[in-house]
């Protein structure tokens, strides 16, 4: 049951160089060409999941990236990890696309590659971090999609079982391929890249696709045509303020809770009652 799998791999600016990022005052976009890029860490888990599926069922792993042309090193890294083929979508016309436009472009490329059984992405990126592209990609491709997947099992030809992590618990799902999944970092531990993998990387097929190669509506892509538009940008002062907070013990405890929430940590106390639906549960 060989499977053709596309893994979306996003090169992102290396966080170690965030301090060197500047803003173009006219286009209000991030100037990051000079910053070295790394593979989005969550995407390595996506590649690992694809490798595990290929080991079990056979097939082909194709990486797909939409980025400026200077990310070749990252493409080679993904091939060294074990992917079979790579595509890079690169064109000045793509620049500045929001998630709507980005997912549209990626979807058109996946359609062009054709015959895809599974699309795997990481659950979020280190730079934008919106987690929106996987869901929107699924919509464009008109296939079922889930994100924050912590378990993925292919039962047979077309039946798959998934677990997704939700607040305070998890949900279980059944689905049929083809589908798109965004995997959580909890799902696996990426294997080490081997030296043999490194030596094979540059010999693997690698293709660049531009606007002319894809069947795209030019009026729906790029900075100007994205539905969401960037307004003002504010660089934050990162020095620690060391603001002293005094108060009653209740006030201090509440301050901690409020800031945990503001920091994105879930403190919701609503417990979940376990329930299994079975096949017919959703009538």
The helix/strand/coil state of 209 is strand
Dihedral class, residue 115 (left if φ above 0, else alpha if ψ from -120 to 50, else beta)? left
Q: CA angle, corner 116, sides to 174 and 59, nearest 5? A: 90
Quote the least distance from Cβ 88 to other proteins, whole Å: 16
Q: How far apart are CA 86 and CA 203, in angstroms?
A: 11
Nearest-10 Cα torsion for 18, 19, 24, 27 = 30
Contact status: 192 vs other proteins (CB under 8 A): yes
Contact status: 26 vs other proteins (CB under 8 A): no
Quote the least distance from Cβ 178 to other proteins, whole Å: 9
**Among residues 207 and 254, whose Cβ is nearest to other proteins?**
254
Q: Long-range contacts: 273-279, Cβ < 8 Å, 24+?
A: 274/169, 276/172, 279/174
Contact status: 33 vs other proteins (CB under 8 A): no
Strands (E), 9-99: 11-13, 22-23, 30-31, 37-39, 59-66, 85-89
Contact status: 270 vs other proteins (CB under 8 A): yes
Q: 217 — phi, psi (to 5°)?
A: -85, 110
**Among residues 215 and 266, whose Cβ is nearest to other proteins?**
266
Q: Could you say which residues in the range 208-247 bind other proteins, by CB under 8 A? A: 226-236, 238, 240-247
Quote the least distance from Cβ 53 to other proteins, whole Å: 18
Indicate which single residue of 58, 69, 169, 205 sits in contact with other proteins (rule: CB under 8 A): 169
Contact status: 256 vs other proteins (CB under 8 A): yes
Indicate which single residue of 4, 95, 113, 139 sits in contact with other proteins (rule: CB under 8 A): 139
**Among residues 23 and 154, whose Cβ is nearest to other proteins?**
23
Contact status: 96 vs other proteins (CB under 8 A): no
Indicate which single residue of 4, 52, 93, 185 sits in contact with other proteins (rule: CB under 8 A): 185
**Among residues 14 and 85, whose Cβ is nearest to other proteins?**
14
Indicate which single residue of 52, 144, 210, 213 sits in contact with other proteins (rule: CB under 8 A): 144
Q: Are 88 and 208 in contact (CB under 8 A)?
A: yes
Q: Are 63 and 9 in contact (CB under 8 A)?
A: yes
Contact status: 36 vs other proteins (CB under 8 A): no
Q: How far apart are CA 112 and CA 6, in angstroms?
A: 12
Indicate which single residue of 1, 15, 20, 69 sits in contact with other proteins (rule: CB under 8 A): 15
DSSP-derived letter for residue 239 is S
């Amino acid at each position: 049951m060989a499977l053709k799998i596309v893994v979306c791999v996003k090169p992102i600016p290396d966080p170690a160089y965030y301090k060197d990022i500047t803003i173009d005052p006219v286009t209000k976009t991030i100037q990051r060409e000079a910053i070295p890029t790394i593979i989005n860490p969550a995407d390595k888990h996506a590649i690992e999941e694809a490798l595990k599926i290929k080991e079990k069922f056979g097939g082909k792993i194709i990486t797909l990236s939409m980025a400026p042309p200077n990310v070749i090193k990252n493409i080679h890294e993904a091939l060294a990890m074990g992917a079979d083929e790579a595509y890079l979508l690169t064109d000045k016309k793509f620049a500045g696309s929001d998630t709507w436009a980005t997912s549209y472009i990626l979807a058109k490329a996946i359609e062009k590659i054709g015959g895809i059984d599974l699309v795997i992405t990481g659950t979020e990126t280190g730079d934008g971090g919106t987690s929106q592209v996987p869901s929107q990609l699924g919509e464009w491709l008109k296939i079922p999609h889930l994100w924050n997947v912590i378990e993925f099992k292919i039962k047979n030809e077309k039946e798959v079982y998934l677990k997704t992590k939700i607040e305070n618990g998890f949900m279980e799902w059944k689905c049929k391929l083809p589908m798109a999944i965004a995997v959580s970092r909890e799902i696996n531990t990426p294997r080490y890249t081997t030296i043999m993998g490194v030596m094979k990387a540059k010999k693997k097929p690698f293709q660049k696709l531009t606007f002319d190669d894809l069947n795209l509506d030019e009026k729906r892509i790029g900075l100007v045509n994205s539905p969401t538009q960037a307004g003002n940008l504010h660089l934050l002062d990162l020095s620690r303020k060391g603001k002293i907070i005094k108060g009653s013990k209740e006030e201090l405890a509440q301050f901690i809770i409020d800031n945990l929430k503001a920091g994105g940590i879930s403190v919701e106390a609503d417990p979940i009652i376990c329930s299994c639906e079975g096949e017919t549960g959703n009538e």
